[in-house]
Structure 1
Amino acid sequence: MRIVEIRVTPIAVPDVPLANTKGVHQSVFLRSVIELHTDCGRVGLGETYGATRTLNGLKAVAPTLDGLDPWHLNDLRRRVEMALPDAGGVNAPTALADHRVVDVVYSAFEIACLDLQGQQAGRPLHDLLGGAVRDTVSFGGYLFFKFAKRDLTFGPDILGEVMTPDALVAQARWLVDDHGFQSLKLKGGVLDPDQEIETMLKLREAFPQHPLRIDPMGAWTVPTALRVIDKLAG
């Protein structure tokens, strides 16, 4: 089984202005869909970021993968690194963390290769990776602070502005009541830490049985993080 054709399709999904430590989401959410076509008719699928740096990296690597055996992931890594010797990172310099273009591009093609491996072996992919550890995985409700949406070109504003603890709890109520989520995760590091502590305590009051998580995306100092932990003990 050899790769004979690669298609990279960028897509833009309408998004709302969700706030996080990097700022605010753009009006569309960019992704890239990867299709690896083989000489035996199988097609492996992958997916990754869709902004310019990633998309350029995918397009630069794609022609070099002609004839690749999808089982030879070390060869895949070598070809990616040779095609992108000075690619740098995918994030802006102001971001708290970065992802290397080489790693992002490799992983996108790796997933598609693993898909092909599973197809040829006639086994679910988890068998190739050591076996499944559970039969089902529950979805968690993902909570974001958000600004009001000013441009309605790509659809209505969902929930309006959510920049207070009470508004965030209302967002969570909508997710739980309308979609049945049994756990909740807050993307934090946006408001003052004390406001986010208040938010978590109000979430606990509103949803006493739901597992709760908060992810400040590395925005807090160690003393601040420890203080939040103490305030949210239990």
Structure 2
Amino acid sequence: MKITAIKPFAVWVGIRNQLLLKIETDEGIYGWGESGLSGREKAVVGAIEHFAEILIGMDPFKINHIWQLLYRSQYFEGGRVLAAAQSAIDIALYDIKGKALGVPVHQLLGGKVRDTIPTFATTSGEPGPEMIEQAKMLMAHGWNAMRLSPAHHGQPEIFEPRESIGVTAKWMVKAREELGDDVVLGIDYHHRLSIAEAASFCQKMPSGTLDFLEEPIRDETPEAYESLRNLTDVPFAIGEEFASKWQFLPYIERGIHQFNRIDVCNVGGLTESMKIAGWSEAHYVDLMPHNPLGPICTAATVHFSAAVPNFSWLETRSSPAETHLGFDNSDFFPVQPRLVGASYPVSDAPGLGVEVNEELIAAQSFKFWQAPLLRRRDGSVTNW
């Protein structure tokens, strides 16, 4: 079997652009992958087009060889753009191999250690009564883990951290009081805070209020997280932006965080994800995969989550708290992972178990989108 074509589709699906990738072979078997570098899809398409010149004519079964070839042979190794391109390619190769052998992808990763994949859901309302009511509704639908909403997270232009953390902390305490001790509660600050701001936020709440704090500060400097670690006992969930095992290295080896927000569509695909999973297991770090994209990402992450022992929850954006945001894409993906209660069943269909309406995908166009360019009130730039 030989690779004959590599076709990237950077198109608007539902509420966002998705970068989907189809790899075709001379035996008529094809695979689908997805890239996770949202807002930079055209850059990733360029990288895929460069990689295609190398891959045409190769054996798609040589997944490990191809991973090493793409990462190491071009001198300027790694980086988020190249890793996102590699991720889509790697996932598509697993889809091809699973289909060719008639087995689900999780069998290629060593087989299932679980039959269903528990998820955490996210509230969409601002901190306040609406957020708590959404959380209660999620609990009624079976969720025992959820991510709550920080104040002012949805503002399109201005974000003042100190204006957010006080009101958010107050409502986190109320949420814990009203939802009880059995539910897992976390919050994502999307690296919008400084060390001092993140510490102040945590210190405004009694110990035990939050079960995890996701991405409170930027991750370029592990020492900054170590400093924050000394100022709070809240477990950290970080890593959704990491583009290789090497970025995870100091966090795992130095015991800085407790949950890996690994993204199979950003970190180098399933090949790299399995290496990070084993490394994390040795250091008792649990996996909480990042999954905000489309059904191909979800399917790949479900297979990954099924095959690793140190797993906690998979992110889902398909809960009743977010359906109004427009994440449904059934027309584009007639067969895809579907929640049963608060969990995804693990598919035993060959490959990823996703079917794509390629004709409909190809008819879509790319729409320019970028994350909000947030400012402080004094005009200075802050993080989105």
- Short-chain TM bin: 0.5 to 0.7
Of 116, 123, 145, the match for 2:103: 123
State the match for 1:53 in structure 2: 43
* 2:89 pairs with 1:109: yes
Describe the shift of the 1:220–1:42 C-alpha distance in structure 2 as closer, same or farther (beyond 3 A).
same
Q: Is 1:199 paired with 2:171?
A: yes
1:70 corresponding residue in structure 2: 60
In 2, Cα distance between equivalents of 1:121 and 1:40 = 13
Q: Aligned to 1:214, which of 173, 180, 187? A: 187
Deviates more, 1:164-173 or 1:107-116: 164-173
Q: CA RMSD in A?
A: 3.1
Describe the SS at the equivalent of 1:219. coil
Aligned pair 1:181/2:143, yes or no? yes
Post-superposition CA distance 1:97-135 (Å, at most 9, x none): xxx111010011001111222233333322322332321
Correspondence for 1:42? 29
Please give the alpha-carbon distance, in whole angstroms, between the structure 2 residues aligned to 1:187 and 1:68.
46
Identical residues among aligned pairs (%): 27
Gaps spanning 5+ residues in structure 1: where? 16-28, 90-99, 145-161
Q: Which residue pairs with 1:24 in the alignment?
A: none
Name the residue aligned to 2:118. 138
Letter in 2 for 1:46: G
2:116 partner amino acid: T
| Greater Cα offset, 36-45 or 59-68 | 59-68
Deviations 1:3-55 (A, max 9, x none): 1122222231343xxxxxxxxxxxxx111221111122211111124632223
TM-score (ref. length: structure 2) = 0.43
How far did residue 188 of structure 1 move?
Answer: 4.1
Match of 2:10 in 1: 10
**What is the DSSP-based 3-state SS (H/G/I as helix, E as strand, rest coil) of the residue aligned with 2:207?**
coil
C-alpha spacing 1:182/1:223, structure 2 compared with 1 (3 Å): same
Matches of 1:220 and 1:181, distance apart in 2: 28
**Aligned-partner SS, 1:168:** helix
Contact 1:34–1:46 (CA under 8 A) maintained in structure 2: yes
The 1:139/1:56 distance shift into structure 2, 3 A limit, reads same
Rounded to whole Å, the distance in 2 between the matches of 1:58 and 1:170 is: 44
For residues 146 and 23 of structure 2, the distance between their equivalents in structure 1, rounded to whole angstroms, comes to 36
Indicate the residue corresponding to 2:232 in structure 1.
none
**CA contact under 8 A between 2:131 and 2:149: conserved in structure 1?**
no
Q: In the alignment, is the contact (CA less than 8 A) between 2:71 and 2:77 conserved in 1?
A: no
Unaligned runs of 5+ in 2: 154-160, 209-384
TM-score w.r.t. length of structure 1: 0.67
Aligned length: 192
Displacement of 1:204 in angstroms is 2.1
Matched to 2:32, the amino acid is L
Which structure has the higher relative contact order (CA within 8 Å, separation 6+)? 2
Q: Distance in 2 between matches of 1:77 and 1:71?
A: 14
Amino acid corresponding to residue 194 of structure 2 in structure 1: T
Shift in CA distance, 227/131, structure 1 to aligned 2, threshold 3 Å: farther
Q: State how far apart, in whole Å, the 2-side matches of 1:131 and 1:232 are.
A: 41
SS at match of 1:75: helix
> Residues 171-203 of structure 1, C-alpha deviation per residue, up to 9 Å, x if partnerless?
4345555x5533211354846222221232232
